[in-house]
Structure 1
Amino acid sequence: MERSTHFEFKHRIFAIPGAHFRRSDTGEGVVYSIPCEGVDAVVPVAALMREFGIASDSPDSAMIDTAVRGLDYVRRIHPGDSIPKELLDGTASWTVEERHEYIARWRLQVQLASWVSGDEQVVTDADMLEQIAEDPQTNDKLEKAMKRLGWEVAPSESEAFGVAIVKERVESLVRELTYIEALRDRFKSMKTIQDKLERFAKLFANSRVVGEEVARVRSLFTNPHGEVRSQFDDVDAQTSEIRSLVLNYDNSIPFIRERRDRLHGLSMDWEEMMLLWDAADPTPDEIGIRLIRKTYQFLGRRYAPKVEWTIGALR
């Protein structure tokens, strides 16, 4: 049976124009949103299946499960939409800019050239990467690196055969790491938020109420900011040895994709907030206070410590 590439449903509830799956605004899972006289009727997935008689072993149920997983990669899913490529073949369903591909390519070229010289370097600064990659000596070292790795990949084959395999693998790694570089670029906004929060702290230093609100936001922001940094540190560490990346190619690609998807999920969650802070000019006025409070609400729903009450604690 041919695998479906689109969200195709049988039940008539999925034929309503504008209806779609999305994550609940309250963080309570996936819902089916149905336009109804100017407002959206929101139905949790479990209630949708129960109320409309969708059997758990039906094709519609399987497609709903796919939609739930698909929301890790896109914000909304309408019946008839294409299934995200992440679920079909592991590739990304979102686009990147050409400059991110350049950075990924330069990075691997620098790693190859420095590895064959006996001192492998991992450089992430775009300007420095470009400078090193365009050095004429780098091309000579690249050829040597390709030949040496080609022999390790296919020791019983011709040099040309081994080099061709290495080049193919490097091109695939460039494609995958391009998405990491795009995400690295996008998450620069987290540093912007941190810096502007520091400015707000100084601006409201003499306001007890707002000053405490800024302090709470800064405290809550520590965890997600640290999580993002940790994800990039991990992927950089795991991709820092070009020889291992090429020789263990079948494991390298899934690892990069897993980190790509995790970071992309975080970027979707943070996109609106990052755009707000990118455009914000910290000022000690009502506009600044509204931004602080909106950010606190956002962080509180996602990162505030959860308190679990027990019967004993209530006595």
Structure 2
Amino acid sequence: MAADKNGSAESGDDDIGFEHKFFTSFEDLYFRMTDSGEPVAVLKLANNEAILSFDGLKREFMLKEDSRDFRMLDRVAEGLQFVRGLRPGDRLPKEVTSREASWEPQDRHRRIAYQRLTMQLVTWLTGNENVISNVTELAQVAEDPQVKKNVQLAFTEAAEELGLGRERRDEVVQYIETLARELAYIEALRDTFAEVERIDEKLQGLRRIYGAERSMIETVDQVARLSQRAIKLFRDYFDQIDAQTGEILSMLKNIDNQIGYIRQVRDALHCRLLPWEDFIQIWKTVFIVRSDENTNKIRDIYQFLAPRYMQFNDWVLVTRRGALKSKPIGGQMRW
């Protein structure tokens, strides 16, 4: 059923719609995540912006757990992990409804994924199975005429190894193409992660520059450590998926389970990399120099990194200290 433009309960199950009239009473109502990862509804009241937590809405409207609105808020909260914002009437992201992705990789990512898998087949055939991570090296090897012949032979031998028989090599080709479509998302996310690594390189450089400045040393040191913690988290995900890809025959023998695993890692990476998008653009123009502008950027990225990557006990202490110092923000009301 098509979505009602006002997000009413007449919408389909995959469309954001509510029964309570509150959700259709404000034309500019939308949903987003806060910096701390809390799903909220945002609306304008005169010159003020009201931020309403989902838990607060459930309590205020006395929504029961089995009610449509309660369940819809939960699904919207899940969907907000994968997109920047949602409005009543929007369709929920595909990650929530079908386990597919709500975004598309580029053709180059599909090509890289296919080349990576076929190279794994070739190295399996030669008995020297390993993962070629460098994209330039991968492209060079994949275009070698002898390697191309080996790829065709590997399809045939893999079909035999899988118990299909050599005459059914085309099924192996289809398996590889299917896995490549899924792994293309990982390759796209790998590109995004490379941008995060560039931010980290600049932060480590700024840490050295500001290391002797008493007013900044604590902040820049914290930022550099938090950035390294983020880098390790992302690398662990890519290392895991690369290790899985390295066992090519195991992947082909359990293709459905492998697709499920790839999508799980894809979604975990995507929802963690999505909040970095604004900072990736901002930090492309940052140079490793001491300046008032860079001082402000370091403080801004600290506010971004701290709630996401600081150890829990440290974050509790920081938020308590901040609560004692903070003053109400004009123009914003929180419910």
Normalising by the residue count of structure 2, what TM-score does the alignment of the two structures yield?
Answer: 0.84
Q: Which residue of 1 aligns with 2:180?
A: 174
Q: What SS class does the counterpart of residue 31 from structure 2 fall into?
A: strand
Residue 86 of structure 1 corresponds to: 95
Residues 191-206 of structure 1: pairs in structure 2 closer than 5 A: 191-206=197-212
Query: 1:92-121 CA deviation, whole Å, 9 max, x = no partner?
Result: 111222211111111112111221122223
Task: Give the equivalent residue in structure 2 for 1:140.
Answer: 149
Decide which of 21, 29, 32 is 1:22's aligned counterpart. Answer: 32
What is the aligned partner in structure 2 of residue 189 from structure 1?
195
The answer as to whether partners of 1:189 and 1:277 remain within 8 angstroms in 2 is: no
Partner residue in 1 for 2:275? 269
Cα distance 1:94–1:280, how it changes in 2: closer, same or farther (>3 A)?
A: same
Q: Distance in 2 between matches of 1:270 and 1:255?
A: 24
TM-superposed CA distance for 1:221, in Å, is 1.9
Deviation at 1:13, TM superposition (A): 1.9
Q: Residue 249 in 1 paired to residue 249 in 2?
A: no
Deviation by residue 1:69-110 (Cα, 9 ceiling, x = unmatched) = 111211212111112111222111112222111111111121
- Check whether the contact 1:117–1:141 (CA below 8 A) recurs between aligned residues: no
Q: Which amino acid aligns with 2:312?
A: K
Higher relative contact order (CA 8 A, sep 6+): 2
Q: Which residue of 2 aligns with 1:121?
A: 130
Taking structure 1 as reference, are residues 53 and 306 closer, same or farther at Cα in structure 2, changes over 3 Å only? closer
User: Which of 275, 283, 289 is equivalent to 1:283?
Assistant: 289
Paired letter, 1:61: F
Q: Distance in 2 between matches of 1:233 and 1:187?
A: 13
Give the % identical residues. 34
Cα pair 2:157 2:166 within 8 Å, conserved: no
CA contact (8 A) 2:123 2:129 kept: yes
- CA displacement at 1:3 relative to structure 2: 7.2
In the alignment, what sits opposite 2:331? none
1:44 aligned to 2:50? no
Unaligned runs of 5+ in 1: 310-315
- Residue 120 of structure 2: aligned partner: 111
Stretch of structure 1 that moved more, 127-136 or 14-23 = 14-23
* 1:235-290 alpha-carbon deviations (Å, 9 max, x no partner): 11111111111111121111111111111011112222232222211221101111
Q: Secondary structure at the match of 1:279?
A: coil
Distance 2:246 2:12 in 1: 37
Q: CA deviation at 1:180?
A: 0.5
Instruction: From 40, 53, 56, give the equivalent of 1:31.
Output: 40
1:82 to 1:34, Cα distance in 2 relative to 1, 3 A: same
Q: 1:45 to 1:254 in 2, by over 3 A?
A: same
1:10 and 2:16 aligned? no
Q: Check conservation: 1:5, 1:83, Cα contact below 8 A.
A: yes
CA distance change for structure 1 residues 205 and 159 in 2, over 3 Å: closer, same or farther? Answer: closer
Counterpart check, 1:297 vs 2:330: no
Tell me which amino acid in the other structure corresponds to 2:75: T
SS of residue paired to 2:128 = coil
Mapped contact 1:217–1:299 kept (Cα < 8 A): yes
Determine the C-alpha separation between the residues in 2 that align with 1:212 and 1:58.
48
**Structure 1: distance between partners of 2:250 and 2:155:** 13
Secondary structure at the residue paired with 2:312?
Answer: coil
Looking at structure 2, the residues matched to 72 and 213 of structure 1 have their Cα atoms a distance apart, in angstroms, of 28
Amino acid at match of 1:108: L
Q: 2:213 matched to which residue of 1?
A: 207
* Letter aligned with residue 238 of structure 1: Q
Structure-2 separation of matches of 1:44 and 1:112: 50
Q: What are the Cα deviations for residues 166-217 of structure 1, in whole angstroms up to 9, with x where unaligned?
A: 2222111101110101111111123212221232133324422223332221
Contact 2:118 2:176 in 1 (8 A): no
Distance 1:3 1:116, change over 3 A: farther
Output the aligned Cα RMSD.
Answer: 2.2
Whole-angstrom CA distance in 2 between matches of 1:7 and 1:198: 43
Cα drift, residue 4 of structure 1: 2.5
Tell me the residue number matched to 1:71. 80
**Separation in structure 2 between the aligned mates of residue 149 and residue 35 of structure 1, nearest angstrom:** 60
